[in-house]
Structure 1
Amino acid sequence: MKRLPLIPTVLVAAAVATMIGLGVWQLQRRAWKEDLIARYQAAAVLPPVAWPNLPPADDSLLYRQAQGFCTAVTGWRAVAGRNARGESGWSHIAACGSGAEGPGMQADMGWSKDADPPSWTGGTVTGVIAPDSRHRIRLVATQPAPGLQPSARPDPSATPNNHLFYAIQWFFFAAAAAIIYMLALRRRQTPPPPPSQSSPRI
């Protein structure tokens, strides 16, 4: 029996171990994400809070019910969103002054089929705090601005949690690499067939 080639075997073993480690890490991430979603769901039923002057450095306010006051609308942006019935369109987010130090408040004032901003100029906003890609958090209004429909209520269960799928992928890659290498070794160690001898011509 031929000896295993040292360097290729070490490299393949290291690659397989790395992929298995990544799969285990994804399983750990899955457990962490499940705990995070559970905390978000618990936050959704806590008593309402006032809109903070400064967004917190962590996610402690996500999915909390909250109330803020928009003293003036300084700008609008429209982002792809859904309404309460799940229809696709535009969510209209107002950049608000809040009458206090800090960056103010981002208020999702509702949904429509087109991207044109509403004529709402400010006031009290009651809703649910949701993640915001630009400003960390925004307040999704329960009562939309005139002419708009309510945006979809922020749902903690919609938080992506694909870590089990990623873990299965890494374990599959590890198994495939090990099997392919074992087949290559078997082929290498199989002696070649004897050369065929042709019959002498008469």
Structure 2
Amino acid sequence: MTRRIPIFASLIVLIAVGAMVWLGLWQLQRMHWKEALLAHYASAARDPVIVPWTARGVGEDLLYRRARLTCASVGARSSIAGNNAKGDAGVVQTVRCALPGGGDALVVLGWSQQPNAATDWKGGEVTGIIAPGPRLVADPPLAGLQPSAAPDPAEIPNNHFSYAVQWFLFAATALVIYGLALARRK
């Protein structure tokens, strides 16, 4: 005697598989979006025109561009793990700068092996590269520090294709498991 295919369970499995396929297709769309974003960032990194960092800050469309700001006064200082331009591990020195006209900006002054370096920097003109955060990575470095590793858009992962494959495999696995469960019922 053969059993009928369970309608409710089949419907649940098909809805779940449909959702997984939709998520895989969505990840493929995200992959194309990320490729365009990374191409924009790579183009911005090659643009020699220096943009102003204003009291309103900077938008994501300016990431990886060269920028200039005036640090009217120095606020909070911090040291965080980072690399220099040669790739050596150490500490990047950051300050929170108050901007003329209001607003503030996080500035990476440079790199050292000492966590308390650059405590005497009092502010002034800063030119550098806008990194995610946003933060301005000083180029040239300030306060006698060594150059920090330059922000590079190539370091941003674009792993949406692998996520899409993963969702498609989940959908296929769900179908295979459900098919085996149905075969076992017979």
- Distance (whole Å) between structure 2 residues aligned to residue 64 and residue 89 of structure 1: 25
Conserved 8 A contact 1:76-1:117: no
Counterpart for residue 89 of structure 2: 88
Alpha-carbon displacement from aligned partner over 1:131-158 (angstroms, at most 9, x marks no partner): 11xxxx1110112223422111111111
Counterpart mapping for 1:35-114 below 5 A: 35-46=36-47, 47-56=49-58, 58-98=59-99, 100-114=100-114
Q: Secondary structure at the match of 2:39?
A: helix
User: Larger deviation: 33-42 or 117-126?
Assistant: 117-126
Q: Secondary structure at the match of 1:107?
A: strand
Are 1:142 and 2:144 matched, yes or no? no
TM-score w.r.t. length of structure 2: 0.91
Conserved 8 A contact 2:31-2:159: yes
- Distance (whole Å) between structure 2 residues aligned to residue 117 and residue 95 of structure 1: 15
Q: Secondary structure at the match of 2:5?
A: coil
* Runs of 4+ in structure 1 over 3 Å off: none
User: What letter matches 1:34 in structure 2?
Assistant: E
Counterpart for residue 195 of structure 1: none
User: What letter matches 2:15 in structure 1?
Assistant: A
Q: Secondary structure at the match of 1:185?
A: helix
- Distance (whole Å) between structure 1 residues aligned to residue 164 and residue 89 of structure 2: 32
Q: CA deviation at 1:108?
A: 0.5
Work out the percentage of aligned pairs sharing the same amino acid. Answer: 46
User: Larger deviation: 81-90 or 16-25?
Assistant: 81-90
Structure 1: where are the runs of 5+ without partners? 190-202
Counterpart for residue 126 of structure 1: 127
Q: Secondary structure at the match of 2:55?
A: coil
Q: CA deviation at 1:117?
A: 4.1
Q: How many residues align?
A: 183
Q: Secondary structure at the match of 1:125?
A: strand
- Choose 1 or 2 for highest CA Rg: 1
Q: CA deviation at 1:120?
A: 1.6
Conserved 8 A contact 1:26-1:167: yes
Conserved 8 A contact 2:109-2:143: no
Q: Choose from 153, 162, 165 the match for 2:159.
A: 162
Q: CA deviation at 1:180?
A: 0.7
Alpha-carbon displacement from aligned partner over 1:83-125 (angstroms, at most 9, x marks no partner): 1122222221111122x22222221001122322412222221
User: What letter matches 2:160 in structure 1?
Assistant: H
Alpha-carbon displacement from aligned partner over 1:61-81 (angstroms, at most 9, x marks no partner): 111101112222122122232
TM-score w.r.t. length of structure 1: 0.84
Counterpart for residue 174 of structure 2: 177
Conserved 8 A contact 2:83-2:149: yes
